[in-house]
Amino acid sequence: MSRLSKNDARRARHERIRRRVAGTAECPRLYVRRTLHHIYAALVDDRKGHTLVAASTREKNTAPTGSLKNLAAAKAVGIKIAEKAKEAGFTRVVFDRAGYKYHGRVRALADAAREAGLEF
């Protein structure tokens, strides 16, 4: 029996989570994606299969100067996604950590989004 790679194990966790977590037009899914250099967040309506709002460190003026892959950048993306969500009329979301552990950059993004006004 072979062991799964870290990414394959994360994908399996994500599939298990996605069976239970689904976003709607009233309460979209806040999806977090993280890479070595960037962090992405998006609000998704799973019934229609549409991305409603998105934010990432790749956007200009989102992340603070310096590194794009640290906690400060994740907090900036959390604040940005919350601002865009409120502009689009969303206050409640369902959080999807995409199989990542809830710590570090994922937690920083979630906490910043909560502080900026999103409820989940």
Q: Which domains does the chain have, with CATH numbers?
A: 6-115 (3.30.420.100)
Q: In the structure, what pLDDT confidence band is assigned to residue 9 with cuts at 50, 70 and 90?
A: very high
- Is the pLDDT at 108 greater than 60, yes or no? yes
Q: pLDDT at position 105, please?
A: 95
Is the pLDDT score of 60 beyond 60?
A: yes
Report the sign of the C-alpha dihedral through residues 27, 58, 80, 96, in that order. positive
Amino acid at 38: H
Is 21 a residue whose pLDDT tops 90? Answer: no
pTM metric for this prediction? 0.88
Asked whether the predicted pLDDT for residue 85 surpasses 60, the reply is yes
Q: What is the mean pLDDT of the chain?
A: 91
